[in-house]
Amino acid sequence: MSNRKKDGSRRIPTWMVTYADLMALLLCLFVLLLSFSEVDSDSFRKNAARIAEAFNSVPAPPPKTVILPPMITLTDLDAAACNSQQRQMIEDLEDLLKNEISGSMVNVVSKGNSVVIRFPGRAAFPSGSADLADSFLPIIDKIGHTLSTVEGQLIVAGHTDDTPIATRTFRSNWDLSSARAVSVVHQLLAKGEITSDRLTAQGFAESRSLAANDTPENQSLNRRVEIVVRLNEDEC
């Protein structure tokens, strides 16, 4: 078959048209690929929509932003459980000792992961003595009964004001504060409801003052004994 027309001009092969169309499409494709060489999310979505439209496709919807809820860690759960246990213990003690609290003989506060039962020295001990007052023994027994129902270490700490003491019994406030703490420990053990391995006695003299020792009221506030209930580390 001749590739020439009747007028003598050369006939173009029919496959050449298809080939030229293919090359043109490939050129457009490579130009688009080059434009995508630096992709950012906005330009990609715009160009993707145009390509999809060119190929008679439905453009893909933009990705949805998913907002995740705040992560709750085991530490958060442990802290919540610890705070709940503290609140319950304080409520129980305040209910049990409401008369003593209203009479300013006992105070119950939270401190970190601990509950502190604080009572002034004037209510529990005669001046300069480490012997518990008879009127205060039932209060210690009530506190001990409640503490026997909860877990955790019990630290009994004695404190004084800054007035020096030097007697045949007590060389200094260190001796006095320690002896008062030990007296409370003995009373807590007397009923047999609390085991000795839970108890520690400490004496701080005037080194852990709640207020400046500049008035008789502040000195009375600093003369105190505290029972610190440290909740178990496994639970808090």
| 236 falls within a domain | no
**What is d(CA 142, CA 89) in angstroms, rounded to the nearest whole number?**
14
Mean pLDDT, residues 45-60: 61
Assess whether 123 and 213 both reside in one domain: yes
Last residue within a domain, chosen from 22, 43, 67 = 67
Domain count, the chain: 2
Assess whether 103 and 148 both reside in one domain: yes
Q: What are phi and psi of 168, to 5 degrees?
A: -65, -25
Assess whether 62 and 111 both reside in one domain: no
Return the pLDDT at 188.
Answer: 96
Assess whether 123 and 27 both reside in one domain: no
Assess whether 89 and 156 both reside in one domain: yes
The answer to whether the beta carbons of residues 223 and 159 sit under 8 Å apart is yes
| 82 falls within a domain | yes
| 211 falls within a domain | yes
| 14 falls within a domain | yes
CATH number of the domain enclosing 144? 3.30.1330.60
Assess whether 36 and 132 both reside in one domain: no
The DSSP annotation for 170-223 comes to -SSHHHHHHHHHHHHHHHHHHTSSS-GGGEEEEE-TTTT-SS-TTSHHHHHHHS
Look at residue 219 and tell me whether its pLDDT is greater than 90: yes
Assess whether 30 and 134 both reside in one domain: no
For residue 9, the enclosing domain spans 1-67
Assess whether 139 and 56 both reside in one domain: no
Q: Average pLDDT of the chain?
A: 81
134-145 pLDDT per residue, tens = 999 999 999 999
Look at residue 224 and tell me whether its pLDDT is greater than 80: yes
**What is d(CA 116, CA 229) in angstroms, rounded to the nearest whole number?**
6
Residue 42, judged by CB atoms within 10 A of its CB (0-12, 13-18, 19+), counts as: exposed
Look at residue 233 and tell me whether its pLDDT is greater than 90: no
Look at residue 129 and tell me whether its pLDDT is greater than 60: yes
Assess whether 54 and 141 both reside in one domain: no
Assess whether 63 and 83 both reside in one domain: no
The angle subtended at Cα 141 by Cα 207 and Cα 196, nearest 5°, is 65
89-116 pLDDT per residue, tens = 888 888 988 988 998 889 999 888 889 9
Q: Of residues 100 and 27, which shows the higher confidence score? A: 100
